[in-house]
Structure 1
Amino acid sequence: MDDDSVAIRELFDRYTELWVRHEMWEWGKLFTEDCDFITHRGMWWRSREENVRGHLDVPESVLAQKKNYSQTVIDVQPLTPGVMLVHTEWAWPDHVLPGAPAAEDRRGLITAVLVRREGNWLIRSAHNTRLNGLDDFAPRSAGS
């Protein structure tokens, strides 16, 4: 594994560590000032500050569950010198939304573009997608 891949995996380890501890201002430093972040719900934040403020707005009941969150880098590919495409897979077992009747095991993918700035890798853009979202297009039997 090359030095860039190691550094990017370390960045995402730090990302996950700060996410779990809900240290969002420190987490935000992993992103460029002009970053884009698209949430799994389709919200598009267009700066580091919007991204951090959006992620700060989380109910206390959800914050307590962050300890269950994990993330794994599954692919790192160079696009051009100083630009990398990264895919991660995250899991959040036993996640309970406020008011939900039961926990669910959430999973998803993050696609990120990283840029090298002053010798460090930073996230310029990220798109979070649920793998097991709420949309259910399965055929329904009569009466359901």
Structure 2
Amino acid sequence: MKTTIILLAAVLCSFTTLAQNRKADAQAIEKQVDAMVTSWNNHDHSDMKNYTTVDCDWVNIVGMWWKNRKEVEFSTQFYHDRMFKKTPMQKKGVAVRFVSPTVALVHFTSHVGSFVTPDGHQLPAADDLALLVYVKQNGKWLMTAGENVVIDLVAQKNNPVNFMPK
């Protein structure tokens, strides 16, 4: 009986420790998302090495696929120098789901201000949703992949999930 109680206590302690670690990891990931938002709002992405992996990739909102940090940093900065110079981003939400102890999927919702495209079209402010993949390397959470889309409010009204039986 004593052995069973000790074993049960050990199992409960390990679950508590895991939950605490997950909470700390989720907070660390959110700080990395905040660093990305700060880079955006400063319109300077030279600090990407602090929150991305060397082999990170990104698929942007119009389907351009940048395949390593060098391409992601160059391309992001390229557009900030030309069309996002004064466009702010506001973090609206971050949801973290752990796939393993060292891999997390992050749904990041933001509000991006209006901007003018390279061909002169004015685009209004909009909410975006990004799916980000984070990996833990040497004790630090880094983004290794991302893709973002504009949230279409008209289409959201027709989301089949809204019609699912409860």
- AA in 1 matched with 2:136: R
Does structure 1 residue 64 correspond to structure 2 residue 85?
yes
TM-aligned CA distance change 1:64 to 1:23, over 3 Å: closer
With the length of structure 1 as denominator, give the TM-score of the two structures. 0.80
TM-aligned CA distance change 1:19 to 1:7, over 3 Å: same
- What do you get for the CA RMSD once the two structures are aligned? 2.1
TM-aligned CA distance change 1:21 to 1:96, over 3 Å: same
With the length of structure 2 as denominator, give the TM-score of the two structures. 0.71
Which string of whole-angstrom CA distances, capped at 9 and with x for unpartnered residues, describes residues 65-103 of structure 1? 22x211233310110111111000111133333523x55
Q: CA deviation at 1:47?
A: 0.3
CA contact (8 A) 2:30 2:94 kept: no
- Normalized per residue, the structure richer in strand is 1
Q: CA deviation at 1:128?
A: 1.0
Q: Once the two structures are aligned, what percentage of the paired residues are identical?
A: 24
Q: CA deviation at 1:56?
A: 1.5
Which string of whole-angstrom CA distances, capped at 9 and with x for unpartnered residues, describes residues 32-75 of structure 1? 00111100010111100010111121265633322x21123331
Does structure 1 residue 49 correspond to structure 2 residue 70?
yes
Question: Secondary structure at the residue paired with 1:5?
Answer: helix
Alpha-carbon distance in structure 2 between the residues aligned to 1:52 and 1:129:
19
Taking the TM superposition and a 5 Å limit, the aligned residue runs for 1:1-144 are 2-58=23-79, 60=81, 62-66=83-87, 68-98=88-118, 99-100=120-121, 102=122, 104-132=124-152
TM-aligned CA distance change 1:61 to 1:42, over 3 Å: closer
- Normalized per residue, the structure richer in helix is 2
Runs of 5+ in structure 1 lacking a partner? 134-144
CA contact (8 A) 1:73 1:86 kept: no
User: Which protein is bigger by CA-based radius of gyration?
Assistant: 2
- AA in 1 matched with 2:73: V
TM-aligned CA distance change 1:78 to 1:20, over 3 Å: same
Q: CA deviation at 1:126?
A: 0.5
TM-aligned CA distance change 1:34 to 1:59, over 3 Å: closer
Consecutive aligned runs of 4 or more in structure 1 exceeding 6 Å deviation = none
